[in-house]
Amino acid sequence: MKSLLTFLQGGVHPPEAKGQTAALPIERMPVPDELEIILGQHIGAPCEPTVTRREEVVEGGLIGEVKKGLGVPLHSPVAGTIKAIGTSAHPMRVSAPSVTIKVDHEAARADYQAGDWQQLAADELKKKVHEAGIIGIGGAGFPTHVKLSPPRDAQIDQLLLNGAECEPYITADHRQMLEHASEVVEGARIIMKILGVTKCQIGIESNKPDAIETMTRAAEAVSSADCTIQVQGLEVKYPQGSEKQLIQALTGRKVPSQSLPSAVGVVVHNVSTAAAIYDAVACSKPLYEKVVTIAGKGINKPANLLVKVGTKVSDIVDYLGGVKPELTKIIMGGPMMGFAVSDLSIPITKTTSSVLFLTEDEVDTNPHSACIRCGWCIDACPMGLEPKEVGIHVEANRAEDTARFGVFDCFECGSCAYVCPAKRPLVQFVRLAKMKAKR
């Protein structure tokens, strides 16, 4: 293998903890009796329901759309009947508007056949991505069709696909790359046609050598003189998979403060988003199911599950044989950037990558104390910020002053909090500072 690429500043090495699920193939979870589909799953305006109570819906049918502003439509993951238009538990807010569907278990599953997408023009491809409700699966849920429309003056020269999956425990992208390599690569080709570029790099951390090998074979099979797709091994270092760090590792380019990747001529998508783009464009399949890693010592049976969007965490727990008595904390997302949850009725969304059931020896329950000014958080920050100052100013009720410490460049990776010997909740301080500074 060639030498491993990485970003230059900061970063940490948390225990990888991927051994529990890395070898577990993706397993389709049986559909529960009821799904709760949250209407606001993407960055932008939430969907408004296009269905009414007692209405029958088909698998893949439209159930919500954004009438005004940024957003993507929402589709039913199953055939069934609308039971309620109401609210559901939400990992970050207390509750959020949702549509509840009673599942018709007798209905036949939708059958999607792949067609020849190469006949379609770039605009038609992009329209299909939008209509299928594709958003960034591995990140915050930014509408993908918007990311496929960089500013006219941007000189985009390559596509980057993110297969780093640097968060501990999570192996959903790893399994996608092993089991659906050709769909990921076809997705890359579709994006390249939309962007009008001939070069794509796929970055994968070196702790996934089987994925590097499989993806390299798939990429070589479709590469030609006018379409080059290269797989690059990345050093195992958190947060290798964040957009700016990945760009620096793969291209050496540095995205300026509060700018988009298009400012340095690249567009970045996650490998699972690329596979969803293939499904949307070649098979006309909307995004309504996804692979979620279920891990941690507190769940009876860890798994990589393909679940319908709207499946409640409690249904997943039941399917996997329940939780263990030692369970201490449940996190949606990874341990570095995820959110602790206490309500098992929270439904899976398009951006849920994992649900972790952690025991006491997997979490740090020590209380935090005053900053001892060791500076470790500054060394760890991949953005060159001063997290300690943000924390000190928030505690002193001077959150409005934190912009000068770059709080708006913070993408809440958690590296600073991970190394802090005083266990200070630096990410929570940052979130509070952003909220107050915006007012």
Q: Which residues bind ligand SF4 (CB under 6 A)?
A: 371-377, 380-381, 383, 385, 387-388, 391, 410-416, 419-422, 424, 426-427, 430
Output 124-128 pairs: Cβ under 8 A, ≥24 positions apart. 125/190, 125/193, 125/194, 125/281, 126/194, 128/280, 128/281, 128/284
Nearer to ligand SF4, 104 or 409 (CB): 409
Nearest-approach distance from CB 419 to ligand SF4, in angstroms: 6
- Any idea of the CA torsion for 422, 427, 433, 436, to the nearest 10 degrees? -130
Dist CA 218 CA 274 (whole Å): 14
Gap between the terminal Cα atoms of the chain? 50
Nearer to ligand SF4, 144 or 242 (CB): 242
Rounded-to-integer distance, Cα 197 and Cα 113, Å: 27
Query: What is the smallest separation between the CB atom of 373 and ligand SF4, expressed in angstroms?
Result: 5
Q: How far apart are CA 335 and CA 358, in angstroms?
A: 9
Helices 387-395 and 426-438: angle between axes, nearest 10 degrees: 70
In whole angstroms, how close is the CB of 286 to ligand SF4 at the nearest point?
Answer: 34
Pairwise CA distance, residues 214 & 29, whole Å: 25
What sections of 209-307 are H helices per DSSP?
209-222, 243-251, 271-283
Q: Which is nearer to ligand SF4, 166 or 281 (CB)?
A: 166
Contact 54, 84 (CB under 8 A): no
What's the CA gap between 345 and 313, in Å, rounded?
6
Q: What is the distance between the alpha carbons of residues 195 and 255, in angstroms, rounded to a whole number?
A: 19
Q: How far is the CB of 375 from ligand SF4 (least distance, A)?
A: 5
| Closer Cβ to ligand SF4, 169 or 376, answer by number | 376
CA torsion through residues 247, 251, 252, 258, sign:
negative
Q: Output 41 or 248, the one with its CB closest to ligand SF4.
A: 248
Q: Output 12 or 212, the one with its CB closest to ligand SF4.
A: 12
Q: Which is nearer to ligand SF4, 319 or 376 (CB)?
A: 376
Nearest distance, CB of residue 119 and ligand SF4, angstroms: 44
In whole angstroms, how close is the CB of 366 to ligand SF4 at the nearest point?
13
CB of 434 to ligand SF4, least distance (A): 10
